Structure 1
């Protein structure tokens, strides 16, 4: 049986990506869903994109757009009006700029094409939503007024975190956003912020970002069995770098 595997935020950590692909024994029959933020953090952002482009030619891959992916796209296209350079550098952009200084213009064009091709979200046949961050419209992603929130929003996850677990879904007070989909898979906000180093489920949401941008691990998870595999902590794989720390 073909597996559907979801992968958390990579943030330039190609070594960790190699590890989870090997540890999960990924085969060409597996479906891979990447939740975004392929860049900004560790030193191999261009190499991560090269790897994903090549992987997408070999098997079924869904590539979701993350907020850092949009920032890098803007930077590559010299569209800097939406980039606060100081803030971006502080949150991983500096490593990306340094890494791309060694990349040819021809390859940069291929990366721009890839970044433009990313999807805002993916909704499968089982009513499972895969999205980088979240959405705000109470009727779901098809009705979202502000598409950028698909890769910037944190309120969906924050709502799930503070939800009273005893509250019935039929209650007037139960957040409608958490009733629309069978499951929602997100990244964007590391589970390490709540002291967890593994994927965390709150309400219908599975958060698969386990802090690879910082001192956490990169995670790949089987969405059916919920079995997951993780890399070594990224600061161990890149001991001379700071990532987003």
Structure 2
């Protein structure tokens, strides 16, 4: 069994389809998605439909992203809905549901709300890895992390988590289309909704697949992107798990 981790999708259903086809996952392989399924791209509806189907088979473990939280807030808060629509690309999300105005909120199926609200995790921890959408406080266990760190904090000179586990995250988009690999922290948001790529990382081997909306595919290895951190405290050991 292999495990594929996928970065921020942001409504790019075609890139997701191309990526999954290129990887050729088997029915018993696992997929972990790092959140931000909606907004910015053209087909948030299609992305959620694909993920819901994968989740029902037991193959997908989805995390929640800050853009998914923004969409959930817009469902019940009129002020949040206006902010989402005009400032956070909610108009693009609603257009994928049939009309480019806030009335389209009623077009979103309950299954889509249920997926975001009840099926997505805030974080995931395994023997060697910690998966989050945005970032971590390196001194705290997962159950004590703040919402700000988990969903909103950018990846700016992160320190290793005290557990020694490698953090894999999205959120901080890499406009050059290349993942960040510091050994103890890996970011695979590579700007799928812009002119970049949707990235999938197989954690057992370090193999990287990337696809874009046009159907272009490229492959590499996560160690191709390894960059030694410029400065760490003297007592901090760099963990290079892949």
Given the two structures, how large is their TM-score scaled by the length of structure 1?
Answer: 0.78
* 1:1-245 alignment runs, 5 A limit: 2-75=1-74, 77-82=75-80, 85=83, 89-101=86-98, 105=106, 108-117=109-118, 118-124=120-126, 126-136=127-137, 138-144=139-145, 146-154=146-154, 157-160=155-158, 175=159, 177-192=160-175, 196-232=176-212, 234=213, 236=214
Find the aligned partners of 1:108 and 1:62 in 2 and give their Cα distance. Answer: 21
Verify the 8 A CA contact 1:178 1:203 in the aligned structure 2.
Answer: no
The structure, 1 or 2, with the larger RCO (C-alpha pairs under 8 Å, 6+ apart) is 1
Judging changes above 3 Å, is the alpha-carbon distance between structure 1 residues 20 and 9 closer, same or farther for their aligned structure 2 residues?
A: same
Residue aligned with 1:150, SS: helix
Aligned residues: 210
Deviation at 1:213, TM superposition (A): 2.0
Deviation at 1:59, TM superposition (A): 3.7
Verify the 8 A CA contact 2:170 2:188 in the aligned structure 1.
Answer: yes
Q: CA RMSD in A?
A: 2.2
Judging changes above 3 Å, is the alpha-carbon distance between structure 1 residues 3 and 72 closer, same or farther for their aligned structure 2 residues?
A: same
Judging changes above 3 Å, is the alpha-carbon distance between structure 1 residues 88 and 127 closer, same or farther for their aligned structure 2 residues?
A: farther
Find the aligned partners of 2:174 and 2:105 in 1 and give their Cα distance. Answer: 36
Given the two structures, how large is their TM-score scaled by the length of structure 2?
Answer: 0.79
- Could you list the runs of 5+ residues in structure 2 that have no partner in the other structure? 216-242
Verify the 8 A CA contact 1:133 1:187 in the aligned structure 2.
Answer: yes
